[in-house]
Amino acid sequence: MGKIALITGASGGIGAEIARSLNRDGFTTLLHYNRSKDKITALSEELGGSETFRADFEKSEEIEDMFKKIKTRHGGVDLLVNNAGLASYGLFTDINPTEWRRLFAVNVDAIYHCCRLAIPHMVHNKYGKIINVSSIWGICGASCEAAYSSAKSAVIGLTKALAKELGPSNITVNCVAPGAIMTDMLTSLSSEALELLKEETPLGRLGTPSDIAALVAFLASSRADFITGQVISPNGGFVI
């Protein structure tokens, strides 16, 4: 039986491509989603009937219920890809406490809950891989994205600390911090803004979900068994 992989936010562009890559590599892929039922159903069918799990990541009880179902059906997960995320744009002074808390609930607290619930199975088996998806803005920050940048920076800190803590149990923890990737998150930008992003990227183009999925698939493979605690940023040279 292949290893079990849970991909959170699998209905989005990057999450779906990660699921496809891991499925091709022989993983049994479990797909988390929240609202996009049509997209996740289509992806599940495409991947040969991958199980889907709905959970609102602002509600810890729904995350716990998801993991209870996974434990009952599969025992646990060998690979956890914390990909689900939420973006926000606006001046820092315009961010109200509710929006700030929501950004951290989805981007940070949900990763805490997923890791907390996935790790015991990994420790028991003396094997596991956790891959957290942060952002280039978690490394260098972005104007008008203070809350998002702060949350994604917290993901990086958690990755490094967990890597040290879980290493003795043969569990690797790494972070992927994408640059500007052509997904729904960029649809709010004007064509002029997108062109400016391309011009500021040394490789002269925006990234694709496949660029991110290829890196995640590598980190999930045995070829990356001696890599842990690292933050790798596929960003076309935007930040070096």
The whole-angstrom separation of Cα 122 and Cα 175 is 18
Give the torsion through C-alpha atoms of 199, 204, 210, 215, to 10 deg.
-100
The rounded radius of gyration (Å) of the Cα atoms in the chain is: 17
Give the torsion through C-alpha atoms of 105, 238, 18, 65, to 10 deg.
-10
Residue 89 bears catalytic tag: no
Q: Are 14 and 183 in contact (CB under 8 A)?
A: yes
3-state secondary structure of 58: coil
The whole-angstrom separation of Cα 180 and Cα 137 is 10
Active-site residue, from 33, 89, 112, 148: 148
User: Which residues are marked as active site?
Assistant: 148
